[in-house]
Amino acid sequence: MPSAKDMKLLAVIAAVAIAGATAYLLLDDNASSPAAPTVVTLPSVTSPLPDTTAEQHAPGGSDAIDVLRATLPLPQIHLNPPPDDVKGPSFPLATVRPGRQVTLHTSPGGTAFERVGDRTEFGSIRVYWIEKVKGAWFGVSTPDLPNGGIAWVKDDRFKLTISQTHFWVSSDVSAHRLAIHYGKRLLDRFPVTVGSQTSPTPLGDYAITDGLVGRGLGPWYGCCVLALSGHQPNLPAGWIGGNRIAIHGTPGSVGGADSHGCLRASDPDMISLFARVPLGTPVFIHA
């Protein structure tokens, strides 16, 4: 388990990660912002193929990964506009403005089924990954629907701030691996524990909804937790916890297949992930 000093550092990292989603703003309260009339271009929602050339040819193995970690631009760096040398996909995000509420619909202009505020149930800033765009409506990944469901939110810039990120996460559950990407760059790859045979990790496309320090959640979650928009439909008998899936640390070993559906990583690897990705980052889980 991390020391008290490490946990204080992690709390700072958590603040950076939770604030990270708003650090990529393309549109803010400044009326002179050149992005004010921005039209969101929808990226592919299929897990992009990373450029692994750097990993294959970089000398030093883990030393090369350490170099990447040290030189990675962290979430507080503004991308307005995004730098020209970032190759590969970017993903649009919608952040609910402080004090505002938005209504979730079953389809563009369809039935409203829920109204939500600027904070999630866990207290994080509410940030949605925009998976689809239809006219003046955003299709967003949300834990308020079953896995694979899309909620629709009206494009209202008085209530939403539109941003983007080049970060994305992929996990191959058959290989027990998780990877962090920045555009086409593969930044890091590490082992994870995946769901057991009776409670397998559900495959699909999700988004990071919350960043939480694990200390307040019990020893089972290690240093930190990144909650996802997905759910575990195959919980074990007698389970009294929630059904949300997450990527989180662990005090135990990693690499097996004995979780209840979450992806468990070592604390050092979780800190590497936690410090990088902003809320709303898409996570592609496949076999």
pTM value is: 0.74
Question: What 3-state DSSP class applies to 285?
Answer: strand
Q: What b/e string do you get for 181-219 counting C-beta neighbours within 10 Å, with b at 16 or more?
A: bbbbbbbbbbbbbbbbeebbbbebbbbbbbbbbbbeeee
Taking alpha carbons only, the member of 146, 145, 195 closest to residue 171 is 195
Return the CATH fold of 1-287: L,D-transpeptidase catalytic domain-like (2.40.440)
Question: What 3-state DSSP class applies to 255?
Answer: coil
pLDDT in tens, the chain (287 residues): 444 544 454 444 444 443 333 332 222 222 222 222 223 343 334 445 444 443 443 334 445 544 444 443 333 434 455 554 678 898 999 999 999 999 999 999 999 999 999 999 999 999 999 999 999 999 999 999 999 999 999 999 999 999 899 999 999 999 999 999 999 999 999 999 999 999 999 999 999 999 998 666 777 888 899 999 999 998 888 777 789 999 999 988 999 999 999 999 999 999 999 999 999 999 999 99
